[in-house]
A and B are shown apart, each in its own frame.
Chain A
């Protein structure tokens, strides 16, 4: 057993095994999120959704994956070849990379680093590059417009997301994700910081380019936005990246506001359930709301999107940040 904790080779093997133990369920989750989205949307629109491939259509994601793999990858003539192929890989890689610090249970993180939340924020702010590079490298006006929209949108909403995260950090006193969850053992931050929770959730919708903020791919105006020119596996990577990002953002919401792996109440029937199951259930709840929002709201107009980000969320989160700091200081609850 000592081999795995002392020998460098052993540590490497252990880390790879840990990474696989996290990534394989994640990828299966991504595959089934596409299925869940179609089923939930169908149920909300009084349809059946995928129901042909396998029992209840459960093999649909695999059928889609095989279809994607079989198709031809087309690189447009005027495209910047290397960047064109790099962009989807970047998107997908970043979506996976962020999971290194997510604590699934107390102490169950591949890298339990001190600045975990900053790492997540940094990685999620890099997501925009996949979109911009794809839009630029495609050498197509629709893709380029989509990329420009996405760049402006993601940068705008990051600002208010940053303030929300700072507000949470004020209540925790640490940048470590495990500490953030532990600080919620008395009460989940979603309750005292409810307005911030709502702002954060809406910002994650904008950050992942999901409806009602899916303007970068607004099909009614831009065909498919930044990935118009993509086909086959390169398209699949964008698609998987988007869904992995949704799961990531749900995990982040869970950690920051919904108490991570903690049960809702620390009493008998709830604390029998292991932490990772609570964590996954909470992520599923967030994902359901993601899909629910998509089924409910029409797409925002672009100027309204910018207005919401800069003129509503930014001042509101700023005021709430100052207010939180004030309350914590006056009541002496400020963590040491």
Chain B
């Protein structure tokens, strides 16, 4: 009873927030509704007993992907009036594309069947092992090549993104920490007796070779 009630509650919020992602006028609100949708999807996973997937969904999508998404959307300078201008013009095209997608989805769902060896996998916790272990056993044995290949694709995508955005501008100053740390002689620590001035302990900076020796300036007490 409680499980069914919470299923309908989460499902209703999920659908409502998914609608709001599209309907909301402010893109930042859209992303926040998207996050709410992710959350409710995770809750549905939890209700189905797939706790590992639920947590991974929250960590990956809500904790990382959506943060970056929000980050980008917040920085956009959007003119809301201009955004709504093209609605009438693009509505028919959008409706057609949406209709095609819906049709395709219905076709796929109506003819799709479960693979013959799938039913034992349907139970979230097959034989008393935890969820994470069950996924691990399948992922790292039967599907290891696919798993590795998807990892490789992600790596290539990542390197691609870095290559596209990395540019070496000449003349920019960079800090090389290793070089700074390795540099010796210019920085050293001393214990300074209390009340002693720079002259008394003899750490006046030597005059630099380019400029002539600095003029001796009279200091009347005080500090600089």
Contact = CB atoms under 8 A, between A and B. Distances in A.
Interface of A: 8, 83, 113-115, 118-119, 121-122, 125-126, 128-129, 132-133, 136, 144, 147-148, 151-152, 154-155, 158, 174-175, 303-304, 307
B2 A118 contact: no
Contacts of A154: 67
Given A113-B51, A128-B67, A151-B71, A175 B58 contact: no
B47 to A, nearest CB: 14
B177 interface: yes
Contact of B35 (A8, A121, A122, A129): A129
Interface of B: 2, 28, 32, 35, 51-52, 55-56, 58-59, 62-64, 67-68, 70-71, 74-75, 130-132, 175, 177
Contacts of A144: 74
B64 A155 contact: yes
Contacts of A174: 130
Contacts of A303: 175
17 contacts: A8-B2, A83-B32, A114-B51, A114-B131, A114-B132, A115-B51, A121-B59, A126-B58, A128-B67, A132-B71, A136-B74, A148-B71, A148-B74, A151-B71, A155-B68, A158-B64, A175-B130
B59 A125 contact: yes
B63 A126 contact: yes
Nearest to A82: B29
Nearest to A307: B177
Given A122-B59, A125-B59, A126-B58, A175 B74 contact: no
A115 B132 contact: yes
Contact of B131 (A115, A121, A136, A148): A115
A118 B56 contact: yes
Contacts of A132: 67, 70-71, 74
A328 B222 CA distance: 64
A118 B70 contact: no
A8 B3 CA distance: 13
B67 A151 contact: yes
B52 A118 contact: yes
- Looking at B56, B58, B131, the one whose CB has the most chain A CB atoms below 10 A away is B58
A285 B92 CA distance: 64
B113 to A, nearest CB: 31
A122 B177 CA distance: 33
A158 B62 CA distance: 13
A102 to B, nearest CB: 16
A285 B131 CA distance: 35
A158 B60 CA distance: 11
Given A114-B51, A114-B132, A115-B52, A122 B63 contact: yes
- Looking at B51, B63, B75, the one whose CB has the most chain A CB atoms below 10 A away is B63
Contacts of A307: 177
Contact of B55 (A118, A148, A304): A118
A155 B74 CA distance: 16
Contacts of A152: 71
Given A115-B51, A115-B52, A125 B70 contact: no
Contact of B67 (A136, A155, A304): A155
A307 B176 CA distance: 11
Contact of A158 (B56, B63, B74, B177): B63
Given A121-B63, A155-B64, A175-B52, 10 more contacts: A114-B131, A118-B56, A118-B59, A125-B62, A128-B67, A129-B35, A136-B28, A136-B74, A152-B71, A303-B175
A24 to B, nearest CB: 27
Contacts of B63: 121-122, 125-126, 128, 158
